[in-house]
Structures are given as C-alpha cells and as structure tokens.
Amino acid sequence: MPLAPEIQNTINTWLTPEYDAQTQTAIRELVASGQDDALTDAFYRTLEFGTGGLRGIMGPGSNRMNRYTLGMATQGLCNYLIQSFPGQQIKVAIAHDSRNNSTEFAQIAAGIFSANGIIVYLFEALRPTPELSFAIRQLECQSGCVITASHNPKEYNGYKVYWNDGSQVVAPHDKNIIVEVNKITSVSEVKFAADNSRIISIGADIDALYFAQARKLSIDPAAIQRQHDLNIVYTPIHGSGITLVPGLLREFGFTNVNVVETQAVPDGNFPTVQSPNPEEKSAMQLALDQAKATNADIVLATDPDADRVGVGVKNDKGEWVLLNGNQTAALLTYYLLSARHRAGQTTSRDYIVYTIVTSEILGDIARNHAVKSYQTLTGFKYIAGLIRDLEGKEVYIGGGEESYGFLIGDFVRDKDAVSACALVAEMAAVAKDQGRTLYEEMVRMYAHYGLYVEDLISLTKKGQRGAEEIQEMMAELRANPPATIAGLKVVEIRDYKTGRIHNLHSGVETETGLESSNVLQFITEDGSKISARPSGTEPKIKFYFSVKQPLKSVVDFDLAQRLGHEKIAAIIADMKLQ
C-alpha cells in the first residue's frame, strides 16, 4: 500500500539539503527496506508541542524527537519570549538528564537561544529537573527548559518548558507558545548558529544554593541526629539523582547512605531495567535486593530526571514492599502537618494541594489538622500555578500527586524527588526514634483516617490509530456513561472537559471551578471514585480507581486492604478494562 501523499511530501522535504546527511541516509534506508509503517509513524504528523513541551521517540522524522523538531520548538519559544519581554535582556536556564542525546539536545537548544540574543545558563553536566526549576528563580530567568523524557523507556526523549516563576508553562503562555511554534514551518527559520559568548556554564554554585534551601525543610533534626545511622539504600536508576540526592541526605545528617552501585552511573540505555520508572517493581528490584541483604531501614529511588520518588519499606512480616504514589503522598502530608504541629510551626494560613486523581486521604489529613486543602487538575504545573496565585496570602506546606511526585516548600515550583527523598528519610528516622518502622507508621495513619485503596491501569495505544482509539473510548464514556459499576450505583459524573459536575440523584449540575481538561470521573454510592484520563505525554489512556474501606484497628489492615483490592478488581472487570 503506497504512502499517503501528504506523508510522502513530508518525507521528500526531509530529503532536501536543509537536513543533514545522517538524517537523509536513515530515511533512505527505511524507504529502501519498504518499512512503510515505520515511515508513516515517523512522518504522519509533526511532533506536537503540547502545553508542557515535546516528548517522543528519538529518530529522524517530523513525528520524532531530533535536532530539527527540537530546533523548531526552541525557535518558536525564542520568538514568544522576545514578544513577551520587549526591551529586556532575556535569560534562560537549561538542564538535561542522562538520556541518550540529552547533552547534545541541551547544547543545540542553548545555541539557538544564544543566536536569538538570549543569555543562557547551561548546566555543565546532568542535573535533576527540580534544580532547573530552582535555577530559573535563583538566576531571575524569564524561561528555561530541561531535556528529559522523565520515566519513559530509553527510546524517548523530551523538552519541558518553564516560565519565570520556575513552573512549567501554564495559560496563557502555554497556548501562545504553541501558536508561535506552529508558525515555524521550515528548519531554515531556525537560528542554529550559536553565540558562545552568551552561554554561561553553571553547576556546583547552584547545587550549593539548592542545598542551603533544602536543609531548611527539616522539621526534626534532633531525631535525625539520634538516628543518623538509619540504613538507607538509594538508587538513581542510572539518572540525574546521583548528582544531588546522596549529598542532600548527608546535609540532613544521615551517615549510612548506600547507593546501588550497578545503577549509580548515568546511562541513557538504562541497562539494568526495562523501564527507568520507580512505579515499576522491576526497576526497584536491585535496590530491594540490596536492602534485604543489608537489613536496611528504607529504600529510596528516583527516576532519570529525579522528579519522582519511589519508596520501599519492610512490612510487619519482614517482607520488602513498595509504597505506591498515593501512600507516599499521604505519609508525607501526614508527617509534615503532624511534625510541624509538634514543633509549633503551624500558622492559620497553611495549606496543602493534591490533584483530582490523588487519594482523598490528603484532604482528610488536612481537615484533621485544621489546614486548608486545594485540588487541582493532574500535573504539577497546576500546583505550581496555585502556589503563585496564593503567594504572600497563604503558606504552602506541601503537595503531591499519585504519580510519585511531591513538593515540600515553595523554593522549587515542580515536583522534587531530591527534597522528597530527604523528608521520607527524616520521616523514617522519626518513626524509628519512636520504635516504629515507616510501614507501621503508615498503618497507624490509615487506622486513624480509614483505609483508602487505589490502583491504576494504563492502556497503551501507539501510533495514529492508537490516538484515535483513545479519543473514541472517551467519546463512548461520555455518550453512554455507566449507570452502575460493579453493582454500585453511579451517583455523580464529573466531566472536567465541560467543567460540569452532574449529581444523578438530585439532577443538579455545578461547576468544577477548574480549567478544561479531558478527564471523566464517576463517583459511586459508596464513595468509590473511577477516573479516566488520556495521558498528555504518552500514547496511553489511564484509569484510576479509589475505594475506601473501614479500618478500626491496625490488626485488620491486611484484610481491609485485600477487600479493597477485590472491590477494584470487580470494577475493572465490570468496565472490561482487562
């Protein structure tokens, strides 16, 4: 079957002298070997510059992450910055993680910014994403970017864009940048010729400033001093966390930090894991094995750009288990609010934030401590936006999302696994100081607030047809919403795309109060919450499940947890998602 004419036209453009010989050779090899499916996927569209930037498989093609798609996006961003800050000397900061081509992509972006008359602060080597956010604010930059594809497989890379408050771009800048990027229709419009006089190398100086701020987050340094030899196993999973996490743990006072050596060296091939994602047990297995062999107290892990944290603990049977993102977020919220209360640090203006698909226990904990809580759409840029809106009026304590991201304090404006690792370790030290493990602390928390059990299913739908299938699934759920789920009556439908909440019992409709987002939620009569959300960065549609089980005593934890998972399994089966 011949290639579609528009795809062939795009391929022909990429075979002109505007593109380098290596790119042209790779395309010709695909053509010669008759790989029409691969060519279609690489050229059927332009890699979309979304509200957060770019992310895609690396390789030649308009729908791939390469110097040209990166270059056109960067030129569009430059044009928007020049429009937005007329007459000003514009400054940007750039960081990158350990992925293949990340260093090269960071240098290409730096060159384009500099060629447009912009001062560039370029990290000398890989650094965590949260440090990029910190550097933007510290250096008073108007923007910044980080080259990373977060926890995606090794074939991917990406480009996340930040604004002058250190957060990922939000309205109106996100849409306005997209407009400018889409105006760049030819690589000839990209200024690739770097002005090296405008590129300034940064590194250890920013590290020291970050550490100085992060140290202030510690609430109970005396407990750390007593438990300084807490046995911590840490893995950066071949990523940028190695540059800061062990150092910050030492700055907090921990003297027994043991790095998983086989995963300590940054490597974009991620040779010891299938996927460098701390949400997956396989990525954490080497750390868990080392923890078991050395009788560790806690396992900590970060993804390649060190904005997500994975935590392993020993349960009451002596088995090593992984906390999910909701459990970690709940424990951190529980610790921050209770420890601040004990230390006399609370104020009447304190608040926490969590997203609409994160466990409702965070709100319960905040209410119990007379602390205000807010919910935002999924994505840390919304949490950062709320911090910006409330700056000077209320006091941000912490916020998190189920996908292993948490931020303590507001000197960074994106999820920060570096500081989260330090606070999780402090939390474990405080628990040990009181004769308990972190697992026991978690069970005590759930016994107080009730057990929330959560799970997530991600359905991957690749390519052009996959994207269409995801849209069809959402359209079907909207057109024919379920009346019951697993025998439970649906009593409320929340459609964040239309901004409407429909109470099926009273018939009353209210507004979500949030900006439009393609998310659907079904609330059942027992309070269970099922959410459907296409991913904004991956070819996936995600279904989130949250049920609440009564838990009167810590001794009933295992039974209540099993019943909760059985309820979720029944929901998944009824919705035919597996």
- Say which residue the tokens 């930059």 belong to: 141
Burial of 373 (0-12, 13-18, 19+ CB in 10 A): buried
Annotation says 188 is catalytic: no
State the virtual CA torsion across 310, 422, 133, 209 in degrees, nearest 10: -160
Distance of alpha carbon 334 from alpha carbon 357, whole angstroms: 18
Distances in Å between the alpha carbon of 259 and those of 272, 324, 554? 15, 21, 33
For the chain, how many residues are written?
Answer: 578
Catalytic residue among 150, 517, 531, 546: 150
Distance, in Å, from the CA atom of 129 to the CA atom of 110, rounded to the nearest integer, reads 16
| DSSP SS3 for 333 | helix
In this structure, what DSSP letter does residue 126 have?
Answer: -
CA distance 150 to 157: 8
Under 8 Å between Cβ of 202 and 135: yes
| CA–CA separation, 575 and 578 (whole Å) | 8
Q: Which residues pair with 354 in a beta bridge?
A: 375, 400
532: enclosing H helix or E strand = strand 529-534
Angle at 48 between CA 70 and CA 11, to 5 degrees: 75
52: three-class secondary structure by DSSP: coil
Q: Residue 432, Cα to own-chain centre: how many angstroms?
A: 30
CB 321 within 8 A of CB 312: yes
Say if residues 559 and 545 touch (Cβ distance below 8 Å): no
CA angle, 465 then 468 then 474, to 5°? 145
Q: How far is CA 360 from the centre of its chain?
A: 19
Give 272's contacts (C-beta < 8 A, 6+ positions apart).
238, 262, 263, 286
Backbone dihedral region of 60: left (phi > 0), alpha (psi from -120 to 50 degrees) or beta?
beta
Q: What residues contact residue 116 under an 8 Å CB cut-off, 6+ apart?
A: 75, 78, 79, 82, 191
SS3 144: strand
Q: Are 184 and 191 in contact, with CB atoms under 8 Å apart?
A: no
Query: Which secondary-structure segment (H or E) carries 257?
Result: strand 257-259
CB atoms within 10 A of CB 516: 12
Are 84 and 111 in contact by the 8 Å Cβ rule? The answer is no
Q: Which long-range contacts (CB under 8 A, 24 or more apart) does 553-556 make?
A: 553/447, 554/440, 554/443, 554/444, 554/447
Give how far the C-alpha of residue 491 lies from the chain's centroid of Cα atoms, to the nearest Å. Answer: 31
Assigned token pair, 344 = 């006399």
Catalytic positions, written as ranges: 150
